């Protein structure tokens, strides 16, 4: 027993050796919570308080469950195979398999994953003759899963309007279909288990008696149904050992309820609250930044991380003039770290939104630095980007059968497998491409395929004189991709990525010197070289004609996209830099961390202002990002950023103002100065002395004629708060400014009468 408890700090020891009663362990980042949880289980077994079969341990991932079992096997000579250690869904499945008859399920019931569930819902809508445009399958899936996660059946859902009433009716039909087919979805596993134990008293009392010790990891991530599930299994006499950190609750969009921790303390704990505040991961300045930031949240149980590792290096903060300069600075800093002996895999670049990875990936690709996108796909490998690229490929070269097959029925336009079989048969018969074979298909299939060809030709006609970035805008809109993803539960990220494709096209045009007004498509002569002939409004393609010798901006961009998606991909085991969203970074740690894009509207995200508790969740997300860093932490933001195909002028994130000055070191670019009016930054001492010619090009070129104000200047207004000047019209006393006041929106103010104050960037 002495060996089991060796090397635990006083708080960890107190948690592990608590009496057999419920307790809440408030475990800060890097405080050894997994060790406490597994040691608690081992100690209970070793001291004879419970047998391995009397333990119920709940985790949130299968990986965490396997790690817990492996650690237990290393601590004690026991067989963990029969222990009830697993996720909520895994344990529910185990219970339902054992009691399938009582649960009203067939013995061989099947589990639907998210794609299977979507397919089942589409079948239901078709069978019920429901308009899937008015009631999209993805929306119905979200409605059903959200209701189940709240413990609600169709008859329990509040039908406050006709739309909601119809969705509830479809939910009921879906439940009937699943029951008839003997299948359950993920949310059903938990709800069915909860209902079974609620109504079956002997079964409930059996499990409550068996599992006298219930241990839960990542308790802050539980939703309403999971919390009720735990309370039901624990019963009035069970001891629930809940480990979590309310400051790291960042999954509200998945239904997690951070309030469950406070509720658990009131209902179960009765004073048994232990805080694990000794951090074994990060240096002091990093922890000071995290502690001071999160203290601005009002609804928290409260803790303060500390370390014995010393203060370490200060948190470095960098202000860039643009997102491109920000990315280049990160590359140079990373190169220096590697030159000093750091492994690339020790360096992580974190961002709030997936769409931000595009500029970073481009910079890494250009610098020839291997990188790996963790928990997601590289920008040009994401499904929505590949769909958009396929449309562009067809406009550039209709012979591309792979591109044709990818999007001919995406978004759905009624072109099924049988229609495509007919088309492929015709293409083989005449030795031509699928696109060229469309006129040979008759009937309904021919009409649908012909409509698709007309869509492509219509987009080509509309965009033939447009520059590349405008062409991409038209394509992602007219193709129906934007409208399609608006109907998805998490489609906002995909739409952001599609809009970033416009930014990628704009950057490519500038870098390759095509000129912003160069038409993206080839002219008639070059197209004739490619064997393209227009006859009676229909394009006829000669598949054997040579490709044009002149490459259009579109062709060049498509080649560039293919290269970036393939080249520089880090091989398995290769030392590579790590890129990821902050959500993906939770649970990980890195020696050096860059947190990018710290601007109002980006981090914190602009949507946070629209949601109750949204800003506090964004602050918790920033707290998670900071506490990923072990030795060095870099924070960066930029004055301008290309988002959604447009240049945006930014204010720095409020989170930077919430950090302790003593833990920070403000950096400055060595070439460019940032001037606002006639003032330098309040951190001017950090700037290198350079000649006036080094003045920031944005500010230099946008001095207003006699108004005394500049585009990009930070200002304050008594009514609207802090903002940034985006544009200035007129001059002198007639000057008016377009000012972005963040959450207050864009305002047009007369500069001769508006009472504005100049602010200096930190």
Catalytic residues: 33-34, 217-218, 248, 628
Residue 57: closest CA among 43, 69, 73: 69
Task: Give a three-class secondary structure readout of 153-183.
Answer: CHHHCCCCCHHHHHHHHHHHHHHHHHHHHCE
Task: Give a three-class secondary structure readout of 325-365.
Answer: HHHHHHHHHHHHHHHCCCCHHHEEEEECCHHHHHHHHHHHH
Distance separating alpha carbons of residues 672 and 711, to the nearest angstrom:
17
Distance separating alpha carbons of residues 743 and 762, to the nearest angstrom:
20
Distance separating alpha carbons of residues 166 and 172, to the nearest angstrom:
10
Tokens of 401: 């059968």
Cβ–Cβ < 8 Å for 652, 645: no
Per DSSP bridges, beta strands 675-676 and 55-59 are unpaired
Provide CB contacts within 8 A for 195, sequence distance 6+.
none
Q: Which residues pair with residue 519 across a beta bridge?
A: 467
Residue 660: closest CA among 313, 308, 300, 315: 315
Distance separating alpha carbons of residues 227 and 229, to the nearest angstrom:
5
CA atoms within 13 A on the CB side of 561: 25
User: Which 3 state secondary structure label does DSSP give 191?
Assistant: helix
Distance separating alpha carbons of residues 104 and 192, to the nearest angstrom:
9
List, in sequence order, every beta strand (DSSP E) within 151-303: 183-185, 213-216, 239-244, 273-276
Q: What is the DSSP string of 222-263?
A: --HHHHHHHHHHHTTT-EEEEEE-GGG---GGGT--THHHHH
Distance separating alpha carbons of residues 141 and 138, to the nearest angstrom:
5
Distance separating alpha carbons of residues 299 and 297, to the nearest angstrom:
6
User: Which residue is it, tokens 């299977």?
Assistant: 116
Per DSSP bridges, beta strands 721-729 and 714-717 are antiparallel
Distance separating alpha carbons of residues 129 and 123, to the nearest angstrom:
10
Cβ–Cβ < 8 Å for 242, 219: yes
Q: Which residues pair with residue 703 across a beta bridge?
A: 710
Tokens of 426: 């015709």
Cβ–Cβ < 8 Å for 513, 420: no
Tokens of 672: 């460019």
Task: Give a three-class secondary structure readout of 421-488.
Answer: HHHHHHHHHHCCCHHHHHHHCCHHHHHHHHHHHHHHHHHHHHHCCCEHHHHHHHHHHHCCHHHHHHCC
Provide CB contacts within 8 A for 550, sequence distance 6+.
522, 526
Distance separating alpha carbons of residues 61 and 518, to the nearest angstrom:
51
């Amino acid at each position: 027993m002495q060996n089991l408890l060796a090397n635990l700090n006083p708080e960890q020891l107190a948690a592990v050796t608590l009496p057999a009663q419920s307790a809440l362990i408030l475990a800060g980042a890097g405080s050894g919570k997994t060790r406490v949880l597994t040691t608690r289980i081992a100690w209970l077994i070793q001291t004879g308080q419970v047998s391995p079969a009397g333990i119920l341990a709940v985790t949130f991932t299968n990986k965490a469950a396997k790690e817990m079992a492996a650690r237990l096997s290393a601590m004690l000579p026991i067989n963990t195979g029969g222990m009830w250690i697993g996720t909520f869904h895994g344990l529910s499945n185990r219970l339902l398999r054992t009691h399938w008859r009582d649960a009203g399920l067939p013995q061989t019931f099947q589990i639907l994953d998210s794609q299977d569930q979507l397919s089942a819902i589409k079948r239901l809508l078709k069978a019920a003759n429901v308009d899937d445009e008015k009631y999209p399958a993805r929306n119905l899936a979200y409605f059903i899963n959200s209701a189940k996660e709240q413990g609600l059946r169709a008859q329990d859902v509040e039908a406050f309007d006709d739309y909601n009433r119809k969705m509830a009716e479809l939910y009921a039909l879906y439940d009937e279909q699943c029951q008839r087919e003997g299948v359950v979805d993920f949310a059903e596993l938990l709800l069915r288990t909860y209902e079974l134990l609620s109504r079956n008293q002997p079964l409930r009392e059996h499990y409550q008696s068996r599992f006298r010790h219930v241990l839960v990891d990542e308790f802050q991530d539980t939703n309403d149904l999971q919390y009720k599930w735990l309370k039901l299994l624990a019963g009035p006499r069970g001891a629930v050992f809940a480990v979590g950190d309310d400051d790291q609750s960042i999954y509200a969009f998945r239904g997690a309820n951070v309030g469950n921790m406070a509720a658990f303390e009131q209902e179960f704990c009765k004073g048994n609250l232990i805080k694990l505040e000794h951090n074994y991961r990060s240096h002091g300045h990093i922890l000071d930044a995290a502690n001071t930031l999160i203290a601005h949240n009002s609804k928290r149980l409260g803790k303060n991380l500390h370390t014995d590792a010393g203060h370490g290096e200060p948190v470095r903060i960098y202000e860039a003039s643009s997102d491109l300069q920000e990315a280049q600075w990160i590359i140079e800093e990373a190169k220096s770290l590697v030159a000093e002996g750091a492994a690339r895999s020790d360096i992580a670049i974190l961002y709030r939104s997936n769409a931000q990875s595009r500029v970073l990936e481009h910079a890494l690709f250009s610098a020839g630095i291997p990188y790996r996108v963790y928990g997601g796909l590289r920008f040009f490998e994401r499904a929505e980007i590949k769909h958009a690229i396929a449309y562009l490929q067809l406009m550039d070269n209709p012979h591309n059968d792979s591109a044709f097959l990818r999007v001919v029925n995406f978004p759905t336009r009624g072109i099924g497998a049988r229609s495509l079989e007919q088309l492929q048969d015709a293409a083989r018969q005449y030795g031509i491409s699928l696109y060229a074979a469309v006129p040979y298909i008759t009937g309904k299939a021919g009409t649908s395929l012909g409509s698709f060809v007309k869509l492509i030709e219509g987009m080509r006609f509309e965009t033939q004189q447009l520059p590349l970035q405008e062409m991409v805008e038209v394509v992602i809109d007219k193709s129906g991709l934007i409208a399609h993803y608006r109907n998805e539960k998490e489609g906002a990220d995909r739409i952001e990525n599609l809009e970033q494709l416009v930014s990628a096209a704009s950057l490519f045009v500038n870098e390759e010197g095509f000129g912003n007004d160069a038409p993206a498509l080839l002219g008639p002569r070059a197209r004739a070289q490619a064997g393209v002939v227009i006859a009676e409004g229909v394009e006829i393609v000669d598949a054997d004609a040579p490709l044009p010798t002149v490459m259009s901006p579109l062709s060049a961009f498509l080649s560039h996209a293919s290269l970036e998606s393939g080249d520089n991909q880090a091989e398995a085991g290769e030392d590579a830099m790590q890129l990821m969203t902050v959500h993906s970074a939770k649970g990980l740690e890195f020696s050096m961390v860059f947190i990018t894009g710290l601007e109002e509207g980006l981090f914190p995200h602009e949507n946070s202002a629209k949601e109750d508790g949204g800003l506090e969740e964004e602050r918790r997300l920033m707290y998670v990002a900071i506490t990923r860093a072990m030795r060095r932490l870099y924070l960066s933001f930029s004055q301008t950023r290309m988002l959604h195909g447009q240049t945006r002028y930014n204010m720095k994130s409020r989170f930077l103002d919430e950090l302790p000055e003593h833990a920070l070191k403000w950096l400055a670019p060595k070439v460019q100065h940032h001037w606002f009016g006639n003032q330098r930054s309040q951190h001017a001492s950090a700037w290198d002395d350079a000649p006036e010619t080094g003045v920031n090009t944005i500010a230099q070129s946008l001095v207003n004629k006699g108004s005394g104000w500049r585009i990009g200047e930070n200002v304050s207004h008594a009514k609207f708060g802090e903002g940034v000047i985006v544009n200035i019209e007129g001059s002198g006393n007639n000057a008016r400014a377009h000012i972005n006041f963040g959450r207050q929106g864009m305002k047009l103010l007369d500069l001769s009468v508006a009472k504005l104050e100049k602010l200096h960037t930190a």
